[in-house]
Amino acid sequence: MKRYKNLLFYVITVAAAIVLIWMTIDQGSLLQSGKNIPSLIESKRPTGQPFTAVLKANVQAPLTILLLQITTILVAGRLMGYICRRLKQPAVIGEMIAGILLGTSFLGHYLPGVSHFLFPPQSLGTLNLLSQVGLVLFMFIVGLELDLGLLKGKTNTAVVISHASIVAPFTLGVGLAYFTYSKHAPQGVQFLSYALFVGISMSITAFPVLARIIQERKLAKTNLGTLAITCAAADDVTAWCILALVIAVVKAGSIWSATYTILLSVAYVLLMLKVVKPLLSKPMKQQEAAKIPAGVLAIYLIVLIASAYLTDAIGIHALFGAFMAGIVMPADMRIRNFIIEKIESVALFLLLPLFFVSTGLRTEIGLLNSTGLWLLCLLVIVIAVVAKFGVSALAARFTGQSWSESLKLGALMNTRGLTELVVLNIGYDLGVITPQVFTILVIMALVTTVMTGPLLDLIHKIYKNETAGHPIGSAV
Q: What is the pLDDT of residue 468?
A: 43
In degrees and rounded to multiples of 5, residue 473 shows phi and psi of -90, 165
Our separate counts of H helices and E strands in the chain read 24, 0
Q: In a 3-state reduction of DSSP, which class is residue 113? A: helix
Which residue spans within 342-382 are E strands per DSSP? none
Residues 6+ apart with CB under 8 A from 172: 202, 383, 386, 387
Q: What is the pLDDT of residue 467?
A: 46
Q: What is the pLDDT of residue 471?
A: 41
Helix (H) / strand (E) containing 440: helix 435-450
Q: What is the pLDDT of residue 71?
A: 93
Q: What is the pLDDT of residue 38?
A: 61
pLDDT in tens, the chain (476 residues): 667 788 888 889 999 999 999 988 888 877 777 666 665 444 445 554 566 777 777 787 888 999 999 999 999 989 998 898 888 888 888 888 898 899 888 888 889 889 888 998 888 888 888 888 988 998 898 888 876 665 565 567 777 888 898 999 999 999 999 999 999 999 888 898 899 999 999 988 887 778 778 877 777 677 788 788 888 877 877 888 888 888 888 877 767 777 888 888 889 989 999 999 998 877 555 455 556 777 788 889 999 999 999 988 888 888 888 988 998 998 877 888 888 888 888 888 888 888 888 888 888 888 898 999 999 999 999 999 999 999 999 998 988 888 888 999 999 999 888 888 888 988 998 899 999 999 999 999 999 988 988 998 899 888 876 544 444 333 32
Instruction: For residues 307 and 143, give the distance between their C-alpha atoms in angstroms, rounded to a whole number.
Output: 13
Instruction: For residues 135 and 123, give the distance between their C-alpha atoms in angstroms, rounded to a whole number.
Output: 19
Q: In a 3-state reduction of DSSP, which class is residue 54? A: helix
Q: What is the pLDDT of residue 476?
A: 29
**Cα R_g (the chain), whole angstroms:** 28
pTM: 0.79
Task: From residue 310, give the alpha-carbon distance in Å to each of 134, 223, 273, 425.
Answer: 18, 39, 15, 20
Domains of the chain, first to last: 107-462 (1.20.1530.20)
Burial of 370 (0-12, 13-18, 19+ CB in 10 A): exposed
Instruction: For residues 426 and 433, give the distance between their C-alpha atoms in angstroms, rounded to a whole number.
Output: 10
CA neighbours closer than 13 Å in the CB half-sphere of residue 316: 30
Instruction: For residues 315 and 264, give the distance between their C-alpha atoms in angstroms, rounded to a whole number.
Output: 9
